[in-house]
Structure 1
Amino acid sequence: MPSTDIGIDLGTASILVYVRGKGVVLKEPSVVAFDRDNNKIKAIGEEARLMLGRTPGNVVAIRPLRKGVISDYTVTEKMLKYFIQKAIGRMSFRKPRISVCVPSSVTEVEKKAVEDATYQAGAREVFLIDEPLAAAIGAGIDISRPCGNMIVDIGGGTCDVAVISLDGIVVSSSVKVAGDDFDDAIIKYVRKKHNLLIGERTAEDIKINIGTAVERPEQKVMEVKGRDLITGLPKTVRVTSEETREALKEATSQIVDVVHSVLERTPPELAADVVDRGIVLTGGGALLGGLEELIEAKTGINTVTAEDPMAAVAIGTGKFVELTASNGKLEN
């Protein structure tokens, strides 16, 4: 019986699992709710995300991955095991072959931690693939040809920028500024401007609904509930999309700077290809309104977002196993 091939996008904000022949079968937040009293896991994924900021003292909702790196090894391992079993069911007799993507800037030690956790979670073989490569494959780019493609993958914890040619990364850079930092920036801004304390989930809602990286002719407005820092009582304020642009200015300009620095280091032939073919954005952070316009305005290069930016890395990771299998590098 052939074993299952699985691709896992082990993200700071969410985990996506791709099963060969089925596509992306699971997408859940990488959050684990943990009971401190008896050291038991109470909930994993979406169920645990709903508990963020709403738990009693003995239960903590934690994210075992920070900035694209495992910060809590045991919990990550349990979370992986749970998601793998949920994705393939318990029917599989042979252990699956799993490829996991890692940010391009991780160290050998961090890679080893991901590998070990995946083996512990029940893998027969583990392959690690750089996030920008997975993102490019998932975005439908033929990376085997000798021409330059630029990928900007903005996840929850890291933003990876790379120029890819001939199945490899030519120039890359990574910055630990991404979706989570957008949320933090909104929390800080609302606290400073409106004296209102809001939580992570509310900040994320603001980002998704009215967040923008460029000035818009028409303003979007959203009512936000939180705690008034002066009276200590609940309060509702109106936040506009222009305010989110203000709040996110620093984070978005850091992403633009990384794109710039990679372009500066790109060999001239490949840089010419990038100008022709444009820049492709992937990852959940790419969904921030106006981000492509901002990058295009600052670089002068046509910028587009991949068809399904959230799932691109997971699809690419899964297809990577298929590609290596069909190249005869792996035997079933």
Structure 2
Amino acid sequence: MSDLPRCPAAHGGPAASAVLRAEPEDFRVVEIMNVVPEGEGEHLWLEIEKTNWNTEDVALWLAKSAAIHRLSVGYSGLKDRRAITRQWFSLHLPGKDDPSFDWPAGLRLLNARRHRRKLNRGTHRGNHFELRLRAVDGDRDVLEHTLQRIALDGVPNYFGEQRFGRDGANWQRGLAWLAGGEAPRKRTLRGFWLSAVRSGLFNAVVAERVRQGVWNRLLDGDLLQPEGSRGLFPAHDDEHAGARVVAGEVHPTGPLPGAAGMASSLACSRLENEVLAAWPGVVEALAGQGVEGARRATRLPVSGLQWQWRGEDLTLTLGLPTGAFATTVLAELITQRGS
């Protein structure tokens, strides 16, 4: 078995400890959508505020309450359970009236509107966070300096611990399966395990770039991604690529391994291959499962970062793009401790 790759901090490491999620209201998330429901169509879109519910459990409850198949319920992104989060769901209701719901504790309807299309994964453009860190114990001056650096430079775009299951179980089971072990019994588990393995390998590559000081700098052979885009282009196609990376206009990327796709070259490729060599056969096994290779930015920009002290508590507000983890930002600031 292989432990999860370690993810070194880029800004000197946590300068304090704090209690996170002592109460659900300490972790608030609002989903920022790219699409506005049109007001007509076969799909009922619902904006729901949930407390101590995870996203999949809400989807299952909606399907049961509306007497439809679970696959007829859509959502854009997974949100934390121990939090207060606002997100959209869609229900496919062809020829049916809007259901009448008896909302349980922890769920509150904010908006309901019809649309012509199902809400698919990744439809939102980002999330807005309000986070309360309680009983902060550490050097405030260093914390303030780190916050300023994060606002300017962002953080390494690691996948958060949520991606790997409790105690990294999905990563461990996924590796064991790809090495010839027991396959997942459910289709959903298959997706979770494959995702955990790819995410762990990506984190390992980013970690090495952090150690070498190039997570936010150009390497020869990099594939770059413009800010706010999913497109890619080779760094050698742009003579100003290095300056654009420093300016935050484009970001270096790392591999989400799978079947051959657009590949890096030169020094970037050597770094990636040396890191991935620690897991022999895993990339080939991912490809054998039909997983397509992809790339993800190694740098995570943090928008609108603000902070305020209230006694010993520190409140942060920030915006992150789709697929990013607030816990990745917090890991640069604090180590978590129990209440």
TM-score, normalising length from structure 1? 0.29
TM-score, normalising length from structure 2? 0.28
Which structure has more relative contact order (CA 8 Å, sep 6+)? It is 2
